[in-house]
Every structure is written in C-alpha cells, then in structure tokens.
Amino acid sequence: MSDNKRILSGMRSTNPQLHIGNYEGALRNWVDLQNQGYDMFCMVADWHALTTMYENPHEVSVNAREVAKDYIAAGIDPAKSPVFIQSHIKEHAEFHLLLSMITPLGWLERTPTYKEKQQDLGSAEREPYGLLGYPVLQTVDILLYKPFGVPVGRDQAPHLEIGNDIAQRFNRLYNKDVFQPYKYMIPEDENRAKLPGLDMRKMSKSYDNGINISDTEDETAAKIKSAFTTPTKMRKTDPGIPEGCAVCQYLKIYSPNWEQQWEEDRNGERGCMQNKKELTEIINEYFRPMRERRAQLDDATIEDILRDGAKRAREVASATMDEVRSAMGIY
C-alpha cells in the first residue's frame, strides 16, 4: 500500500451551480475521502470551462466562486482540503505547454468527449484549438499534484487513461520516474457514476437538465414535476419502465424504499405523480443541510479560502515543476 494519501479532482465553472450528478459522481466521494483522512485537493477548473465558454471569461470567473461554495456546502472543509482555482496556479499553464509537445495528436483526436463537444459546438469555425487539448490540461491538473487517486464520474475515464499514458511517455522520454500511475476512483454504482438528467441525457451543467445542490425546494419540486418518466405510462394503472424513467433512477439513489416503489411502478400500482411527490420530499430533505450551509457563505470568506487554497496548492505544483524541468534538463 502506498503512503501517498493525496487526492486531486475538479469541476468546470461552466455554471454557478453544481448538480446532483456532479455530487453523486464525484463530490460525494471527495467528502468521504477527506473524512477518511486523505489529503483532498479540490480544484475549480476555470480554464477548462473556457474551452466551450471562451466568449464569457468573466462569467466563468464569477461562477468559479460559486462552485467553490458548493464544494464547501457539500462537506469539504477548506481547513483540511485546499480549495483553489486552476488559473491561480500558473504552473498549470507552463506544464500544459510542455506536455502539449509530447502528446501525440492521434490520442486527442480519438477521445470520445472531444467528438461529442465538437458536435455540440456545431461549426468548425467555433471550435478552438484549446478544446482538442482538454485532456492534456486535465493531465496537468492531475500530475502536478502527484495524487494517489482521482475521484470523478464515468465520463472522465477516457481522460484519466490518456493522463496515465502521457505520464508514462514523459517518464520514458526523459528517462526518469517522475510520475507514478494514479487510481481512477469512479463510483461502482453505474447510476451514480453517470446520473441521467431530467431529460434522461447525461445530467450536465451545460445542458441545464439537472437538479442543483443549491436549488430551492420549490425549484426542485418544479424540476421533478417536469422530469421524463415512462412515455407510455399515461395513467397510474399503465405499467412503468423504471430503468428508463428519470424519477425512478433518482428514487433508486435517494429512497430507502426504491425496490418497492419500482415494483409498484412496473405493476401499474402507483402513478408518476406519487413518485414525483415522494422524490421531491426525499431530495429536499437530503440537500437541506447543504443548502443551509451554502446560504451562510459570503463572498469575502470564499476569497480568503481560495487565496489560502492556492497557496497550499502552489507549494505542491511548483515542487513538481522543479522536478519536471530538471528531468527535461531545462534550466
């Protein structure tokens, strides 16, 4: 067993609010790891957000503070776990440039998330050079902190693989074991690893199809009311297909009685309205303490937390950069 207890992860600041998919896929594990005594480094990936939001850089910056609030609301204790903004650590930019030189283009062009994002952007004119390098920048975020593991959702698995491949390539090219492979910490439960959105696509900040950690109780109720259910279940007595119903998917995570609820849904013994009503209550109860904690956080406190987090993160990142330059013979 390694004695390295450092963990690194991050979220893009494409939106001021994180959703329950971000929570189930990653943030919930961060809090657990922190509470188990790991050194949890919590980054807000503002530069990553720019790959698709380059027209609104100021908004990305404002969002970054709000994302940090969600981390803390969910149970991250900034005294234990540094919370910091990616762009505050300039080492990420330097290392990104260096790794760009050693990453084969084919590895990036093959990435499934790249192809998806390309499609989302629509035209080649709108597609920035930086988008292709997304996994390189993510590799930098990880390697600078030399973590034992990286807790993320299932969609990030291809990026994590590229990251370990780039690390190996670096070690081989410069003949020095600077980086050890890190572990992928993806929830075992597939539903949590890739939570469906209210429309049954992947829940994503940029699709606006999520229930947010910081939504009000009324917002939560309205969203659940509009959620996708079994399309052929018009009446309570029609049979449901819980596997394809967003509400049933959330019940499976949050409701202790989900098995019975699924059974009744399938057998036409309960209607979608009842599912929605029960789910709303359970979700609002689950997230109430986080929402209350978030409401207590003011902007000045967050700036102090981020300054302190950046200082602690920079110490680690700059030590790694010294090793990187030395391995490459750059002085």
d(CA 130, CA 171): 24
Give the binding range for ligand ATP (CB under 6 A) out of 124-132, 151-159, 222-230, 237-245.
Answer: 151-159
List the catalytic residue out of 117, 183, 225, 252.
117
Residue 147 within binding range of ligand ATP, rule CB under 6 A: no
d(CA 324, CA 303): 30
d(CA 11, CA 205): 10
Give the binding range for ligand ATP (CB under 6 A) out of 11-19, 34-42, 129-137, 218-226.
Answer: 11-19
- Tokens 């019940």 belong to 251
List the catalytic residue out of 69, 146, 194, 205.
205
For residue 41, the surrounding DSSP H or E stretch is: strand 39-45
- Written as one letter, the residue type at 32 is D
Q: How many helices (H) and strands (E) does the chain have?
A: 16, 5
Of the candidate residues 155, 161, 165, 199, the single one contacting ligand ATP (CB under 6 A):
155
Of the candidate residues 12, 69, 270, 314, the single one contacting ligand ATP (CB under 6 A):
12
List the catalytic residue out of 194, 202, 223, 276.
202
Q: Which residues contact 288 (CB under 8 A, 6 or more apart)?
A: none
Residue 153 within binding range of ligand ATP, rule CB under 6 A: yes
Minimum distance of ligand ATP from residue 299's CB (angstroms): 22
Based on the residue annotation, tell me whether 183 is a catalytic residue of this protein: no
Of the candidate residues 7, 8, 17, 22, the single one contacting ligand ATP (CB under 6 A):
22
- Find the binding residues for ligand ATP in span 23-62 (CB under 6 A): 24-26
d(CA 45, CA 9): 9
Residue 88 within binding range of ligand ATP, rule CB under 6 A: no
Based on the residue annotation, tell me whether 80 is a catalytic residue of this protein: no
CB-based burial, 291-324: b 16+ in 10 Å, e otherwise: beebeebeeeebeebbeebbebbbebbeebbeeb
Give the binding range for ligand ATP (CB under 6 A) out of 86-94, 188-196, 226-234, 262-270.
Answer: 188-196
Minimum distance of ligand ATP from residue 248's CB (angstroms): 16
Based on the residue annotation, tell me whether 69 is a catalytic residue of this protein: no
Among all residues, whose Cβ is closest to ligand ATP?
25
Q: How far from the centroid of its chain's Cα atoms is residue 105's Cα?
A: 25
What is residue 87's DSSP assignment? G
Q: Where does this chain bind ligand ATP (CB under 6 A)?
A: 11-12, 14, 21-22, 24-26, 152-153, 155-156, 193-195, 202-206
